[in-house]
Structure 1
């Protein structure tokens, strides 16, 4: 079957969650972002929207009922498909560092690569509401301690 890129509307502030859930199902996702110099943080290029490549007729239900997906954008009764060339151009124009957000699963082993705990191993627990920080469990002095650190300080083990 033929796969195309479609526009997906997410629930508010849930782009990362929708992207992680769709990616874990095997769908190719693209969530364009940019670095906002004024606010000094990474922001979505299109708030509440991301692009997903899938076969509409076979994967409609799987995509539509994914956690944090509001709906598949349509014009009249047809889904809004996007040309592959436009996706490639968006990818080319967005900063590669900002478009690649690493997602983690609850209970996954992670490595802390920056900050005061750099070099330590931890266990991912959950994302915070702002999605720029995460909750992890870290062993300190033979005790398991819950702490919040920047997502950018983590990498997969």
Structure 2
């Protein structure tokens, strides 16, 4: 039987543009929190600037046990847990680690889109890099892109790979 005090990763919905603020408040509360950020170039009328933006809009990840759920939800700006099949969606440790490893790579670029409206294509296996041995689905226009779905998030992560990194399953 599973221990209720075992810490697991969950995703929480946040108010729009509150991701970084909620992440820092949760950390100050003693909760293990992670708001994945990536550097993005933004154009202003007079200059370009590199800024860090949340990878997942309106999402923050927390690693908690069952007793800490209410502490998370009592955080200003935290709206609710992401649910899957009627329960807060548990995110696998390996998925979180893979994202962390990939974001640590030089020039890492990930684009997030909703998984609604996509039909599945060829199943592929990644043969190189931090996503090695992961399977994904290739979509239209994509000799270079593989979709890696994060279970229960309703999100698809698009990671660009050279076609030589992939083999069809």
- TM-score range, shorter-chain basis? 0.5 to 0.7
CA–CA distance in 2 between the matches of 1:96 and 1:5? 22
- Residue segments in structure 2 that go unaligned for 5+ positions in a row: 44-49, 107-169
1:46 equivalenced with 2:46 (yes/no): no
Alpha-carbon contact 2:14-2:79 (below 8 Å) kept: yes
Partner of 1:86: 95
1:77 equivalenced with 2:86 (yes/no): yes
Residue 60 (structure 1) shift: 1.5
- Secondary structure of the residue aligned to 2:95 is helix
CA–CA distance in 2 between the matches of 1:49 and 1:7? 6
1:11 equivalenced with 2:11 (yes/no): no
TM-score computed with the length of structure 2 as normaliser: 0.53
* 1:22 paired residue among 9, 23, 26: 26
Give the aligned CA root-mean-square deviation in angstroms. Answer: 1.9
Query: 1:125-136 maps to which residues of 2 (within 5 A)?
Result: none
- Secondary structure of the residue aligned to 2:63 is strand
Partner of 1:141: none
1:23-71 deviation digits (Å, cap 9, x = unpaired): 111111111111113543221111110110001x211111111111111
CA–CA distance in 2 between the matches of 1:58 and 1:31? 21
